[in-house]
Amino acid sequence: MRKFLLTLKYHGADFVGWQVQPNGHSVQTCLQDALEVFFGHRPDVTGCSRTDSGVHAEGYCAVFEADTDKECKRISLGLNALLPDSVSVWDCSEVPLDFHPRYDAVAKEYIYRLYDGMSPDPFLRGQAWHYKGSLDTERMQAAADKLVGAHDFRSFMASGSKILDTRREIYWCDITRRERLIEIRVCGDGFLYHMVRIIVGTLIFVSKGRLSPEDIPGVLAAEDRSAAGQTAPAEGLYLHKVYYEKPERRSSNEK
């Protein structure tokens, strides 16, 4: 028996999320369907995390076990021939049998993409959030810098979440602009439910003047969801990379 680690890219608009659900088609189901055709049996697939409906991935990690002599390259090619256009196996490698894609992960990096201005871009539909207005990325970066470090992020967790330990460490939160397209990169040792999307919504509040960068420590200290900003839409969120070795810290100007 061998264990294989797949790195996947997928467009989340076509799915109800990663995990198998009774109310729609999931990425996990899609991958299991392809594996069943390729191997002749249906292996269990374990992912590195859940993703919500509409959320994308550029480096999602999942594992399965199979009693096979097939090479990794052949597995990648075979699965890509069976998967829909919205899912791609980007890499396949063999890992130890005790490897776990979730519990062995030490950090994740998410990217949130949005663009501002009054006119929507049809080529970004479903791939980035269109914010109707002008965003001040300098103010947003000043606020984002105050999120870096170890904090209690309860204020940035969706209401109703049952998680008790809400302390997380953010390694970087960097904002870049290329014309109208804005990317917010957030890397940390773990994330609460909707945490990145609430961070984005809070940075929007800072840009609009509803909060100042200096207010962010108070938002963290409040430990209250109502102290933070809105929850940004799912369509702009991407799971970019899963780290299995701790990433080096970097400052906001090292982009």
Q: Which of 216, 190, 214 is nearest to 201 (CA)?
A: 216
Full domain range(s) for residue 226: 107-243
Span of 99-103, 117-121, 244-248 with lowest mean pLDDT? 244-248
CA distance 118 to 105: 40
Name the band, by pLDDT with cuts 50, 70 and 90, for residue 20.
confident
Whether 254 maps to a domain, the answer reads: no
The 10s digit of each residue's pLDDT in 173-199 is 999 999 999 999 999 999 999 999 999
What value does the mean pLDDT take over residues 214-222? 98
Q: Is 46 helix (H, G, I), strand (E, B) or coil?
A: strand
The catalytic residue among 14, 33, 52, 215 is 52
Total tally of structural domains belonging to the chain: 2
Same domain, 234 and 112: yes
Q: What's the pLDDT at 254? A: 45
Q: What's the rounded mean pLDDT across residues 13-20?
A: 92
Residue 131 lies in a domain: yes
Looking at the chain, the whole-number percentage of residues with pLDDT higher than 90 is 92
Last residue of one domain, picked from the residues 43, 65, 95: 95
**Does residue 117 register a pLDDT over 80?**
yes
Please report which confidence band the pLDDT of residue 250 belongs to, taking 50, 70 and 90 as the band edges: low
- Give the span between the Cα atoms of 218 and 204, in whole angstroms: 17
Q: Are residues 121 and 169 in the same domain?
A: yes
pLDDT of res. 251: 47
For residue 11, give the CATH number of its domain.
Answer: 3.30.70.580
User: In this structure, are 54 and 167 located in the same domain?
Assistant: no
Give the contacts of 157 (CB within 8 A, at least 6 positions apart): 163, 166, 192, 193, 194, 195, 198, 225
**248 located within any domain:** no
Residue 162 in any domain: the answer is yes
Residue 52 a catalytic site member: yes
Is residue 249 included in any domain, yes or no?
no
Same domain, 239 and 141: yes
Task: Specify if 251 maps to a domain.
Answer: no
The domain boundary, picked from 68, 95, 122, lies at 95
d(CA 65, CA 57): 22
